[in-house]
Amino acid sequence: VPRSKTTPKDEKPQRRTVRLTHPDRVYWPDEGVTKEGLADYYTEVWRYIAPHIVGRPLALLRAPSGIDGQTFFQKHAWKGINANIVEVQDPAEKDDEPYVAINDLDGLLGLVQSATLEIHPWGSTLADWERPDRIIMDLDPGDGVDWPAIIEAAEETRKRLETAGLNAFVKTSGGKGLHVVAPLKPSAQWPAVKAFCKGIADAMAKDSPDKYVSTITKSKRSGKILIDYLRNQRGMTAVAPYSTRARRGAAVSMPLAWNELSPDIGPAYFTVENTPTRLQALDADPWAEFKAAAEPLKAAKGKAKG
């Protein structure tokens, strides 16, 4: 069911309750994308990005002077934090500094006001910090790996996840690779989820040692793809679907339908500039069924062989 049709395409949320200081500050100089432009982008994609960033701990890549200036990868709240951003306490680390979270579009615009150029959520929610609701297999190509090989790696990862009883979705990273994401019904805790993901990465490296590696130490080897399963640990993060990247080109991490993976698009093909057009042209959000497709990892017991 093309769920995006249930909301009229011209129905856009209103913003402007959050005050932006320096709205003309340029964040991506080559594209001329400003802070105000970033706020407009996130307002546009709000209903798509919301399920992936609301109600979970967030790490933020902040860049007050734009992508060419100093950047900060921030896991915790800071002094004078925007009032629309929520501070949350890790229930397992009561003495730790609070994390940041958002509840609504004002929260997202609070992140923009704070010069957040990348949003990196946890794989679990504030409702259940210990039981992830998604797996993210991060496919990191070494030097010399071509795009068709990255697509092939994503297809193989998908097959292995499906063999294990899960459903798999794909997105561009907005950088160099692809992310294969499987929604989970929260049941297994972090250590079991990590072990499962390691099993898939190790099996891929074992079955195709010429194509894949599963350990960072071997990841420098050119011509191979690192199957980075280490996003799937408590406290680790990966860039959110629809998040911008603090890199040249103003690319975003874009959810795709599997049949959109083709030579026509690369990992940084979708950008702040062309995403609104894409979303308006889509018949259906390619990830419309993401939440409904969640399965518990216990159904995935046993092998991760493809």
* Binding partner of residue 237 among ligand ATP, Mn ion, none, CB cut-off 5 to 8 Å per kind: ligand ATP
Q: What mask of x and - would describe binding to ligand ATP in positions 226 to 245, judged by CB under 6 A?
A: --x--------xxx------
Whole-angstrom Cα distance, residue 217 to residue 213? 9
Q: What is the per-residue binding string for ligand ATP in 265-304, x denoting contact by CB under 6 A?
A: --x-------------------------------------
How many of the chain's residues bind ligand ATP (CB under 6 A)?
Answer: 15
Q: Which is nearer to Mn ion, 77 or 238 (CB)?
A: 238
- Buried (b) or exposed (e) across 248-270, using 16+ Cβ within 10 A? ebbbbbbbbeeeebeeeeebbbb
Pairing mode, if any, of strands 116-121 and 134-141?
A: unpaired
Instruction: Examine residue 177 and tell whether it contacts ligand ATP (CB under 6 A).
Output: yes
Residue with smaller CB distance to Mn ion, 156 or 228: 228
How far from the centroid of its chain's Cα atoms is residue 30's Cα?
24
How crowded is residue 224: how many other Cβ atoms within 10 Å of its Cβ?
24
Which of 3, 17, 22, 73 lies at the binding interface for ligand ATP (CB under 6 A)?
73
Residues 52-71 that bind ligand ATP (CB under 6 A): 59, 61
- Cβ-based nearer residue to ligand ATP, 40 or 138: 138
User: What is the rounded CA–CA span in Å between residue 92 and residue 95?
Assistant: 9
- Quick one: which segment of 157-165, 169-177, 181-189, 295-303 binds ligand ATP (CB under 6 A)? 169-177
- Least Å distance, CB 219 to Mn ion, is 8
Question: 6-45 mask for ligand ATP (x: CB under 6 A)?
Answer: ----------------------------------------
Shortest spacing between CB 174 and ligand ATP, in angstroms: 7
Q: How many CA atoms lie within 13 A of 204 on its CB side?
A: 28
Cβ pair 169, 238 in contact under 8 A: no
- Contact residues for ligand ATP, defined by CB under 6 A: 59, 61, 73, 120, 138, 140, 173, 175-177, 228, 237-239, 267
